[in-house]
Structure 1
Amino acid sequence: MASSTASKWLRPEVYPLFAAVGVAIGICGFQLVRNLCINPEVRVSKETRAAGVLENFAEGEKYTEHFLRKYVRNRAPEIMPSVNSFFTDPNRS
């Protein structure tokens, strides 16, 4: 039984599925660790939970305005700008 299961799931056609699921699990794991470690609203230790609701806006601003958000803020929301401009620019005819 084990050999038939392995032969069914360990074929080259299934590798992209494993890669996509692996990337999704990696992103979820990264976000989980990020929230547990540096999110100001998540309190894991007993001492910080006892503090109640904190009005620490500077720490929240630092958490939300991370490097990637600052990098993409003033950029056009395009994945492939050269291809988009090729097909949408009327002056390129």
Structure 2
Amino acid sequence: MVSSRWVRPEVFPLFAAVGTAVGICGMQLIRNICINPEVRVTKENRAAGVLDNFQEGEKYAEHGLRKFVRNKSPQIMPSLNNYFSDPLSDE
């Protein structure tokens, strides 16, 4: 009785959207805590101060997704965009 009152089928897409957003935020938080060279969690690492480790920073910034999309078109559906935006030839 209570579950049918509070959990309706209409709110499932909202649950999915909020769950996805929370998942993305959690993933980014874990990524930053674990592998960001500027984040120091342990006391020994914090005592080291500012490190000039450019290779580690470059490795963090140039992750696999960025390398994959570097030379790609920024459009989601380029063929469909070109179909509607380019003038048709009169042949």
Scaled by the length of structure 1, the TM-score of the pair is 0.89
CA offsets 1:52-74 (integer angstroms, 9 cap, x no match) = 01110000000000000011111
Shift of residue 87 of structure 1?
0.7
5 Å-filtered alignment, 1:38-77, equals: 38-77=35-74
CA separation of 1:9 and 1:45: change in aligned 2, threshold 3 A: same
Q: Aligned residue pairs: how many?
A: 90
Shift of residue 7 of structure 1?
3.3
Gaps of 5+ in 2: none
| Superposed structure 1 runs of 4+ greater than 3 Å apart | 6-9
Percent identical pairs in the alignment equals: 69
CA offsets 1:22-76 (integer angstroms, 9 cap, x no match) = 0000000000000010000000000000000111000000000000001111111
Secondary structure of residue in 2 paired with 1:63: helix
Match for residue 23 of structure 1? 20
CA distance in 2, matches of 1:50, 1:92: 67
* CA RMSD in angstroms, aligned pairs only: 1.6
CA distance in 2, matches of 1:38, 1:92: 52
Contact 1:86 1:92 in 2 (8 A): no
Gaps of 5+ in 1: none
Q: Which has the higher contact order (CA 8 A, sep 6+)?
A: 2
